[in-house]
Amino acid sequence: QVQLVESGGGLVQAGGSLRLSCAASGSIFSYYTMAWYRQAPGKQRELVARITSGDRTIYADSVKGRFTISRDNAKNTVYLQMNSLKPEDTAVYYCNAVWYTADYWGQGTQVTVSS
């Protein structure tokens, strides 16, 4: 069982930055593909960024060039650096860990971008 705890959300003005963190329990964090998803009110949850155990990354088109996902296996933590934030980035951001059939989610952290 893996527990994921997100932090770093908050209220920021458009153009500002935030860094989200997701701390994971367990000793095999480095094996997991980690991802950030988000869900805005009335919308489906969508993938924001993903990083594999080999540090390969993918991003949603809407965040390319503005967001960066990274991981620190020594700290069992994955990060999402968000720059040039826009009001449309407002959502609850969720951390996700996947390894074979194991699939875990955090409780989410609210990000609100004011115009």
* Closest among 101, 94, 72, 102 to 5, alpha carbons compared: 94
CB 51 within 8 A of CB 35: yes
* Closest among 112, 102, 100, 91 to 37, alpha carbons compared: 91
Categorize the per-residue pLDDT at 101 as very low, low, confident or very high, splitting at 50, 70 and 90: very high
Give the per-residue pLDDT at 90: 98
Q: Where are the beta strands (DSSP E) in 8-114?
A: 10-13, 18-24, 33-39, 46-51, 57-59, 67-72, 77-82, 91-99, 102-105, 109-114
CB 64 within 8 A of CB 49: no
What number is the average pLDDT over the span 79-107?
A: 97
Give the per-residue pLDDT at 67: 98
For 14-28, write each residue's pLDDT tens digit. Answer: 999 999 999 999 778
Q: Residue 80: is its pLDDT beyond 80?
A: yes
For 42-51, write each residue's pLDDT tens digit. Answer: 999 999 999 9
Give the per-residue pLDDT at 40: 96
Give the per-residue pLDDT at 28: 86
